[in-house]
Chain A
Amino acid sequence: MKGALKPAAAAEMIPEGASLMIGGFMAVGSPERMIDAIVARGVGGLTIIANDTAMPGKGIGKLVSAGLVRHIIASHIGLNPETQAKMISGEITCELVPQGTLIERIRAGGMGLGGVLTPTGLGTEVEDGKQVVTVEGKRFLVETPLKADFALIGAWQADYVGNLSYMLTAHNFNPIIALAGRTVIAEADSIVPVGVIPPDAVKTPGVLVDHLLIRAS
């Protein structure tokens, strides 16, 4: 862990056209201060890899509203009418992926695997253009791994070496994307001394985290 940055300084690291994995499920567990800083910077052409695009005014929805998103890889966009409208108009392209497949593709990317074999999507539109293999008599779709330039994490507690813990349903994609971003930036509700998060409660080891955002003012 390289230290704590102001949100604006963290947003400065993100170039035009970058790919971002962002934690959160309907914005629960999303790094809101980091997202606000990206909106303030106005860097566009982004590819977003996340479960969903929340709703206008919340989480990833703020990036969509600001017109900064070019491509989305997500499992569900139905609760954000702006994402739907921009997809229909062609401003945003969208790859829809079954939720369990999406998280495993990210996990594969982060854990050095060449992909995932899953039965989910067989016989549906999801199968189109993909390889199908048979293992021990069962058919599986071959799904490719996903990585991103940045993983933006929303955590509950961070300590001074970047160890992270999460609260309740705010885990979701966060612990998995921490492995799949080339640069990992974490925002926590609070930053606590080393030892306050017991080793057994650490869900993301600090060695994966490049930068923390400074505490909220």
Chain B
Amino acid sequence: MDAKELIARRVAREVRPGSLVNLGIGLPSMVANFVPAGLGVFFQAENGVIGLGARPPEGMEDRHLTDAGGGFVTAVPGAASIDSAMSFGLIRGGHLDMTVLGGLQVDEAGHLANWKVPGKMVPGMGGAMDLVTGAARVIVAMQHAAKGQSKIVPKLTLPLTALRRVDLIVTDLAVIEPTDAGLVLREHAPGVTLDEIIAATEATLIIQGDVPEMMLI
């Protein structure tokens, strides 16, 4: 299993029955592949659909129905199409139960940076600031390190996405929960030791008692 699939399978366990969930583009969107059918979950795409479905069969795509990355999708029974004011009203107004987003950095305060690398990548924040500000639960799904550098740092060096502390960080090495006291190591990935996690993490991790292995879907 590759790192991204591992992360997606672990995040999928966080999806609660009957909830409204927004998945960011890229790795987070893979989570939908592992959420069991029959949970009554609706996925929102911020460009304007509640009830996002899988990719349509080849040749049957509709140019009016895409996800937030512009890729063709379907809609599930019970879906609703909405305009951008409604879409972000759902997000900012506290009606969205959970969002899963990618990250560039998370720090010991649980603050996320995921929209800009000054001088290198200035794509715009899109919906990220609204999602982190407004969703009931924010999960960051990302690789633990990029180019050998820890993405979990003592203090952000990249621009902040929102003041809100994220609720959970899921990486290819560990599950980490930001708390008042700092970053608590909750789970380790299969075959990864705590020493390896500590060595790969620039931030200080709090370890309380046994740290179990990640359970995957």
Main secondary structure of the interface of B (DSSP, over half): loop
Interface size class of B (residues with CB under 8 A): 35 or more
A1 contacts B by Cβ under 8 Å: no
- How far apart are the CA atoms of A107 and B83 in the complex, in Å? 12
- How far apart are the CA atoms of A156 and B48 in the complex, in Å? 15
- CB nearest neighbor in B for A189: B64
- Min CB distance B43 to A, Å, is 13
The interface residues of chain A lying within 8 Å CB-to-CB of B162 are 120-124
CB contact under 8 A between A78 and B124, given known A98-B129, A169-B47, A169-B48: yes
- CB nearest neighbor in B for A102: B84
Interface size on A, residues (CB 8 A): 46
Write the B17-39 contact mask toward A (1 if CB under 8 angstroms, else 0).
Answer: 00000000000000000000000
The answer to whether B81 touches A168, judged by C-beta atoms less than 8 angstroms apart, is yes
The interface residues of chain A lying within 8 Å CB-to-CB of B48 are 25, 168-172
A84, A120, A176: most-surrounded residue (chain B CB, <10 A): A120
The answer to whether A28 touches B47, judged by C-beta atoms less than 8 angstroms apart, is yes
The answer to whether B92 touches A124, judged by C-beta atoms less than 8 angstroms apart, is no
List CB contacts (< 8 Å) of B98-154 with chain A: 116, 121-130, 133-134
Q: What is the interface of chain A, defined by CB distance below 8 A to chain B?
A: 25-29, 51-52, 55, 74-79, 84, 87, 96, 98-101, 103-104, 107, 118-126, 156, 166-176, 203
24 residue pairs bridging A and B, Cβ less than 8 Å apart = A25-B66, A28-B63, A52-B126, A76-B126, A78-B126, A96-B122, A98-B125, A100-B91, A100-B127, A101-B129, A119-B133, A119-B134, A120-B130, A121-B129, A123-B160, A123-B162, A124-B161, A125-B159, A126-B125, A168-B75, A169-B49, A172-B83, A176-B84, A176-B85
Given contacts A28-B66, A78-B121, A124-B162, 11 further A-B contacts (CB under 8 A): A26-B66, A28-B63, A75-B127, A76-B124, A98-B125, A100-B88, A121-B133, A168-B75, A169-B45, A170-B48, A172-B83
Q: What is the interface of chain B, defined by CB distance below 8 A to chain A?
A: 45-49, 62-66, 68-70, 75, 81-85, 88-89, 91-92, 116, 121-130, 133-134, 159-163
